[in-house]
Homo-oligomer: A and B are copies of this chain.
Amino acid sequence: MRREDDAMREETLEGICAPIAEDLGRVDEFLRREVASRDPFIGELLAHVGRFRGKRIRPALVLLAGRALGRLGAAHVEVGGIVELIHTATLVHDDVLDDAGLRRRSATIHARWGERAAILLGDFLYSRAFALATRVDGAARILSDATHTICEGELLQVSRAHRPDLPEAEYLDIIAKKTGALYAVACRLGAQLAGADGVAEGLARFGERIGIAFQIVDDCLDIAGDEREVGKSLGTDLKKGKVTLPVIRFLARLGDADRRRVEGLLRRPLAGEEERTLAREIIASGTVEDARSEAKAFVEEALAVLAQIGDPALRTPLERLARFIARRRF
C-alpha cells in the first residue's frame, strides 16, 4: 500500500519536485523580496501576478539541473526566480495579445486593470528580470538572448496567423523559439552554475526538447482541454487563427472540399460557437491525441540526451519532470 502511494505521489508535479521543495520556496522568497514596489498601485499589480505562479516548471528545471550535476547553490535560486519572472512577463503580455480574461483561475491584469497597465507591467517585469540577471555571473547575456528569441518566435507566430498553409516545420521552429528557448536556458544555466560547462550544451538541448513538448501539449489543451481544469481561457488559438500542430495534422487528413472549408474558417477571426464546433471536429479526427504523441516523442528525444549526462540517481527527477510534461492535463 505504502509503496503504491509513493508511486502515485511521485507522478504529481509536487512529488517530482519534492527533493527541491525548499529551494523552490527560496525562489518564491527571492521574487517577493526583489520584485516589489513602495507604490500601493504597483504593489497591488505585483501581488496579483504573484498568483499566476503555478507549476514553476522553469525554476524547477534550473534547480534540478544543478542538483543532478552535484551542486545546487544560491545562484540557482536567483536564476530560477529570474526565469520565472521572464515567463510571467510573457504571460502578462500574452493575455493582452489573446484578449484572455482568465489566468490561473484569476482575472488577467489586462481584464482587471486594462491594457495600459498590462503592457507596462510586462515591461516592468522584463526590465526587473534583466536588472537581476546582471548580478549573476554570465547569466545576463544568456537570459537576454533567450528573451529576444522568445519575442522573435511570438512575432513570427503573429505574422503567420490566419495562414492555414503553415508547414509543420515552421510551426516547430516557432514554438522552439517562443517556448523551447526559455526551457533551454533554464537547463543550460542550471548546469553552468553547477560548474558543469561541459554538459551545459546537452542540458540545453534536453530543455529545448521538453519546452517544445510543453508547447505542443499547451496547444492541444487549448483545443481539447477543460477550462476549469486548466484554469485559464482556452480556445483562443482557433479564434485568433493561430495554426497549431493538431490543426495542421487535421487539415492534412481532410479531403479537398472539407479542407477548403476549414481553411476559409481559419483565415478570419472565429466567434465562440464557431470555435467550439471546429474544435469538436478536430478532437473527433484524433489529431489532438496524435499531436500529444508527437510531444511524447520530443520528450523521448530529450530523455535520450539526458541519459548521457550526470549521475543516474540524481537525474531521475529531471526524467520524471520531462514525462510529466507530455502527460499533463492542466
Interface residues of A (CB under 8 A from B): 37, 39, 41-42, 45, 93, 96-97, 115-117, 119-124, 126-128, 130-131, 133-135, 140-141, 144-145, 147-148, 150-152, 154-156, 158-159
Residues of B within 8 A of A152 (CB): 37, 39, 42, 124
Number of copies: 2
Tell me the smallest distance from the CB of A134 to a CB of chain B, in Å: 4
| Inter-chain contact B155/A120, CB cutoff 8 Å | yes
Tell me the smallest distance from the CB of A68 to a CB of chain B, in Å: 27
State the main secondary structure of chain A at its contact with B.
helix
5 pairs from A and B in contact (CB 8 Å cutoff)? A39-B159, A115-B115, A120-B154, A127-B144, A131-B141
Tell me the smallest distance from the CB of A87 to a CB of chain B, in Å: 13
| Inter-chain contact A127/B124, CB cutoff 8 Å | no
The contact of A93 among B123, B130, B145, by CB within 8 Å, is: B123
| Inter-chain contact B42/A116, CB cutoff 8 Å | no
> What's the Cα separation between A71 and B105 when bound, in Å?
56
Known: A42-B152, A131-B144. 11 other contacts (CB 8 A): A42-B155, A93-B119, A93-B120, A124-B148, A124-B151, A126-B127, A127-B148, A128-B148, A131-B145, A131-B147, A134-B134
> What's the Cα separation between A37 and B116 when bound, in Å?
28
